[in-house]
Structure 1
Amino acid sequence: MFTGIVTAVGKITAIERRGDLRVTVNCPFDPGTIAIGASIACAGICLTVVDKGGRAGDAWFAVDVSAETVARTANETWQQGAKLNLEPSLRLGDELGGHLVTGHVDAVGRVADWQPDGGSTRITIAAPPDLAPFVAAKGSITIDGVSLTVNTVDDRPDGAVHFAVNVIPHTADVTTLGSLRQNGEVNLEVDTIARYLNRMQALKTVT
């Protein structure tokens, strides 16, 4: 489990195709604090550390990314030089600064609009129809691993949904959200509570 509070931005320095992708990520962590087999959220995707090295402040870790994961995440996530929001898994007793995040991407969204809003930036994301029931104003959503609050929701005639979030300057500076561009793809994960409530409602309707 994660909280959607990014602790560092890493950079993909190597990609090796060996059935799955073996992806090496450079990061400012201390390799002594990274355990083989541990989970790290990379751009909102829960992945398992299979190798590590380097030194404190200039470390690296490797993860294996399956074809299923590649197919269900944003195209630009798995490219040489790509930057990834990183968050180690939540430990018992840690502060829950964002919201409960599983690291399982529900859909790929697209940046539909990007406008200054006071000192912040208002980003509008276009999401597919199957995500529409899970997006609610003042609810939580994860964009590329970052926990954000939904400000507005606009249901579209084709069943898709556009929703807007505000990104404050600090978040833009310490995550990859500050470098998003028009029509760029993002990994989306809906709030876990919304997912279960939708499932319960579906079963209630059937019975």
Structure 2
Amino acid sequence: MFTGIIKGVGRVVQLDQQDETATLTLQADLFREIQPQLGDSIAINGTCLTATAVSTDQVTVEVMPETSRRTNLGALAVGSRVNLEPALQASARLDGHFVLGHVDTTAVLTAKQADQNAIVLTFELSAEYAPYIVEKGSIAIDGVSLTITATDQTHFSVSLIPFTLAETVLGDRELGDRVNIETDILGKYIVANQPGGTRA
């Protein structure tokens, strides 16, 4: 499990892609600090993946077809920057919100607007996910825990401070880019257990 508080940004240094599968090797100073072990979980752009090889400052992970279809990881190339978060330890402080690393889908960045000291990002999302998108609710975008500031059936907005833009890859995003979306797990269970509820 994760919290959506990004601990570092890494870079793809090696990529072996075949059809809808891929093996990614990432380099990050964060890995020197946390010293990941084989089999550890790490969220890459909000996607929970397993470390299959590790070295001092590099981690290798494998991407399976389901992950490629649901996320933006299939669009990565050598040199791409990615958000990183190691799995939450039971003794750790809980910031952000409950993030599983199970990405639901991707959304497209459609607007980027300054609001005094913040930048408001607006995304287009399939209407089937509208029941899980609520104003002032939580959402993970490329693994970043954020608060929804506005929403309708096909769009939602979030507001980011300069620190978040500088310390995550969301600051790199341009109009038309796809981002990973994980809706709030608590909201999913509530909706699924209502009469006529749907299961994302």
| Structure 1 residue 79 displacement after superposition | 1.8
Given that residues 2 and 101 in structure 2 are in contact (C-alpha distance below 8 angstroms), is that contact kept between their aligned partners in structure 1?
yes
Name structure 2 gaps, 5 residues minimum. none
Q: Calculate the TM-score normalised by the size of structure 1.
A: 0.90
The answer for the alignment partner of 1:25 in structure 2 is 26
In structure 2, how many angstroms separate the alpha carbons of the residues matched to 1:192 and 1:204?
A: 14
| Structure 1 residue 119 displacement after superposition | 0.7
Name structure 1 gaps, 5 residues minimum. 156-160
Given that residues 31 and 52 in structure 1 are in contact (C-alpha distance below 8 angstroms), is that contact kept between their aligned partners in structure 2?
no
The answer for the alignment partner of 2:10 in structure 1 is 10
Could you report, residue by residue, the CA deviation over 1:36-68 in whole angstroms, capped at 9, with x for unpaired residues?
1000000010000010113xxxx0100011122
SS state at 2:131 partner: helix
SS state at 1:196 partner: helix
The answer for the alignment partner of 1:164 in structure 2 is 157
Given that residues 130 and 152 in structure 2 are in contact (C-alpha distance below 8 angstroms), is that contact kept between their aligned partners in structure 1?
no
Given that residues 2 and 88 in structure 2 are in contact (C-alpha distance below 8 angstroms), is that contact kept between their aligned partners in structure 1?
yes
The answer for the alignment partner of 1:158 in structure 2 is none
Given that residues 111 and 181 in structure 1 are in contact (C-alpha distance below 8 angstroms), is that contact kept between their aligned partners in structure 2?
yes
RMSD: 1.8
Given that residues 44 and 83 in structure 2 are in contact (C-alpha distance below 8 angstroms), is that contact kept between their aligned partners in structure 1?
yes
Could you report, residue by residue, the CA deviation over 1:88-137 in whole angstroms, capped at 9, with x for unpaired residues?
00010211110000001111100010000111100001110111110000
In structure 1, how many angstroms separate the alpha carbons of the residues matched to 2:197 and 2:169?
A: 40
Out of 49, 52, 56, the residue aligned to residue 50 of structure 1 is 52
Q: Calculate the TM-score normalised by the size of structure 2.
A: 0.93
The answer for the alignment partner of 1:97 in structure 2 is 95
In structure 1, how many angstroms separate the alpha carbons of the residues matched to 2:173 and 2:195?
A: 35
In structure 1, how many angstroms separate the alpha carbons of the residues matched to 2:53 and 2:73?
A: 24
Amino acid in structure 2 at the alignment position of 1:111: L
Amino acid in structure 1 at the alignment position of 2:38: I
Map 1:46-125 onto structure 2 (within 5 A): 46-54=48-56, 59-74=57-72, 77-125=75-123
Out of 164, 172, 175, the residue aligned to residue 179 of structure 1 is 172
Q: Give the 4+ runs in structure 1 shifted more than 6 A.
A: none
Q: What percent identity do the matched residue pairs reach?
A: 36
Out of 106, 111, 134, the residue aligned to residue 136 of structure 1 is 134
In structure 1, how many angstroms separate the alpha carbons of the residues matched to 2:55 and 2:182?
A: 30
In structure 2, how many angstroms separate the alpha carbons of the residues matched to 1:136 and 1:5?
A: 20
Bigger Rg, structure 1 or 2: 1
